[in-house]
Structure 1
C-alpha cells in the first residue's frame, strides 16, 4: 500500500496491483540506440526492441528510507512514476534501484532484485500535463558524507506519461493500482554510482514545488554457511 500527499492537502492510498518499469525510454530513439550499444559493450544484453516495459513484483514498490543489498554494485536511476488511482492519475518521483551485476545476465532480473523507491508526495497529472516536458529530474549520490549530482535533466528527455498511458490502455493495465516508472536520463561520467545513499527530486519550475525520495543502502551480511 502506497500513501501520497497532494498539494491541496488530500491524501490518497493506493494498493499496488501492477508495477511496470519502462526501459530504453528516451524521447530520442537515436540516443537510445547509442546507449544500447554502450551497454552491450559492458556485457548487458541488448533488447530486441525499444522502448521496453518490464513487469516487476508489486511488493517492490516502496516508500522507505532504506534499500538492502547483497553486494556493493547496486545503484539507482532518477525517474518519474505515474500511479493509477480510482479517480485519476498521479505523478510522483521515483528511483529504480538496480543490481548492476545481475544486469549483464538480464535487465528484467536486475530490476526484480531491488525495489522501486517512490516519493511520499504526488501531483495530479492533469495539473502539470501542459508543462510535463519542463519538469526537472535530478539525482544526487552521497559517499563519505558528501552529496554529488549524478543526473540532471528534464522530463522532456523521456517518453511522456501519455505515451505510457496509451500503452496501459492497449495492454488492459490502465486500472487502479498500476504503477509505471518512466525509465531514466543519462548519468554524469566520472561520478561513482555505487554510493551509500541516493536522493532523487522531481521539480516544477513554474511553481517551485519539488517531490523527492531519499534512501540509504544497507549491505546485508555475508551468507551464514
Structure 2
C-alpha cells in the first residue's frame, strides 16, 4: 500500500493506494538524437537496442516503493529519474520516480532487469490537469552520491520526453489508464554516463507554480552468493 499527499486546487488530502498495474515506458524521448544517445550509452554497457520506440515493460506492482532504502543484489544497479503518472478514480496524478535497474542483468534481458529492482516513487502527487498546460516546462533533476561525492547525474525539461497522453495512447490504444495503474514516463541521459551510486536524489520541479516534489533513497548492495 502506498500513501500520498495530494495537492490540487489549493487544497491537500491524504490517500492510500493499492496498485494493480505497473508499466515502465522506455525510449520515450521526443528527440531522435536524444533517443539515440540513450541507446548508445546503454550499448556502452552491453544493453541491446529496443524492439520498438517507445517500448513498454510490465513489472510487478509490488516493486513500487516509497522507502528511503533500497536493497539490490550486487553492485551493478543504478537509478533513473522519471516523471510518473498515477491513475486514480478521479483522474491522473503526477509524481517523480526512479526506474532503478540492474545493469548487468539488462545486458541479457531488459524486461528481466526491470523486474529485479524496486521502483522508488515520491510521496507527493500533483493533479495532472494543473500541470498539463505547462508540462514541457517541468524539470527533472537527479543527484547521485558516487565515491563519496554528490554529483549532478541527470537534468532537463520534460519537453525532451513524450507527454503522458501520447504514451498512454501508444500503450493502451485509448486516452485513459485504468485506475490503480502507475506509469513511468521515460528518462534523460546520464551526465557522465550510467554508473552505480550509494544514494539517489530526485526532484520534479514546477517553475510555473513554484513547487517541487523531491524524494531520495540509499542503495544497499547485498552480497552475491553462489
Q: Distance in 2 between matches of 1:104 and 1:168?
A: 24
Moved beyond 6 Å, runs of 4+: none
Q: Distance in 2 between matches of 1:220 and 1:42?
A: 21
The answer (yes or no) to whether the contact 1:73–1:101 under 8 Å persists in 2 is yes
Offset from partner CA, 1:140-193 (integer Å, 9 cap, x none): 011455421111101111000111232354279721110000110011016x73
Q: Please provide the CA RMSD for this pair.
A: 1.9
Shift in alpha-carbon separation, 1:122–1:172, aligned structure 2, 3 A: closer
Offset from partner CA, 1:4-25 (integer Å, 9 cap, x none): 1122221122211000001011
Shift of 1:207: 2.0
- TM-score, with structure 1 as normaliser: 0.92
The answer (yes or no) to whether the contact 1:141–1:193 under 8 Å persists in 2 is no
The answer (yes or no) to whether the contact 1:95–1:213 under 8 Å persists in 2 is no
Question: In the alignment, is residue 19 of structure 1 matched against residue 34 of structure 2?
Answer: no
Unaligned runs of at least 5 residues, structure 1 = none
Which residue of structure 1 aligns with residue 136 of structure 2? 133
Unaligned runs of at least 5 residues, structure 2 = none
Question: In the alignment, is residue 43 of structure 1 matched against residue 40 of structure 2?
Answer: no
Matched residue pairs, number? Answer: 223
Q: Distance in 2 between matches of 1:141 and 1:41?
A: 20
Shift of 1:40: 3.2
Comparing 163-172 and 9-18, the one that deviates more: 163-172
The answer (yes or no) to whether the contact 2:5–2:125 under 8 Å persists in 1 is yes
SS of the residue 1:122 aligns to: strand
Greater share of strand residues, 1 or 2? 2
The answer (yes or no) to whether the contact 1:141–1:147 under 8 Å persists in 2 is yes
- TM-score, with structure 2 as normaliser: 0.92
Comparing 115-124 and 146-155, the one that deviates more: 146-155
Which residue of structure 2 aligns with residue 202 of structure 1? 204
